Amino acid sequence: MYQQIENYIRKEIIVSNAEISLILSFFKPLTPNRNEILVTHGQTSQRMFFVGKGCLRIFFINEEGIDSTRYLAFEDNFATALVSFITNEPSFEFIQALEETELLYITQQDFYHLTDTIPAWEKFYRHYLEMAYVNNTKRLMSFVTMDAKERYKLLLSQNPDYVQRLPNKMVASYLNISQETLSRLKSKI
């Protein structure tokens, strides 16, 4: 898994062998149980996760108890409750391991230490933040400008893994539609 994260990092930034060794030395392995909650509402997000195997889901639960999935991180992706990670305030989000998952994590303190120590790591973080902003904005725009069918077709074209690997309940939560609507869409497409 360390080779996996090294490859990912080297695709994003140019680092020396000494710098990558230092970066990787701060990452620790974690193997949560299936459906285990890693961050809960009200807890401060103190870790950034890299998914080596499996899937992490970041979601909210509204006052009626209905969950809404904000982000799904499969292999070779980073994930955290980003607002809490940045602000050091309690999280409104949950992070859950959906499958048998193998992770590497870095603490918030170590992550920011690297941004102060290795200039290229700050560039890596900036790219991460930019992509998070772009992805979140595109998702928000899809809720405003697309109907359920269009969002489902977009998901099938861009992320077919979501539909193939996850239960309908999770896919529906990600698309912000009911399971019944998802079943109807699946039967038509």
60-106 tens-digit pLDDT: 998 999 899 999 999 999 999 999 999 999 999 999 999 999 999 99
Q: How many distinct structural domains can be found in the chain?
A: 1
Tell me if 136 is assigned to some domain. no
Tell me if 156 is assigned to some domain. no
Using CA atoms, how far residue 87 sits from 21, 91, 127, 160, 181, in Å, is 28, 9, 18, 33, 36
Tell me if 28 is assigned to some domain. yes
State the residue range of the domain holding 49.
Answer: 1-108
For the entire predicted model, the pTM comes to 0.93
Tell me if 58 is assigned to some domain. yes
Tell me if 98 is assigned to some domain. yes
- The model's confidence at residue 188, banded by pLDDT at 50, 70 and 90, is confident
Tell me if 64 is assigned to some domain. yes
2-53 tens-digit pLDDT: 999 999 999 999 999 999 999 999 999 999 999 999 999 999 999 999 999 9
We report the CATH number of the domain holding residue 26 as 2.60.120.10
Tell me if 15 is assigned to some domain. yes
Tell me if 139 is assigned to some domain. no
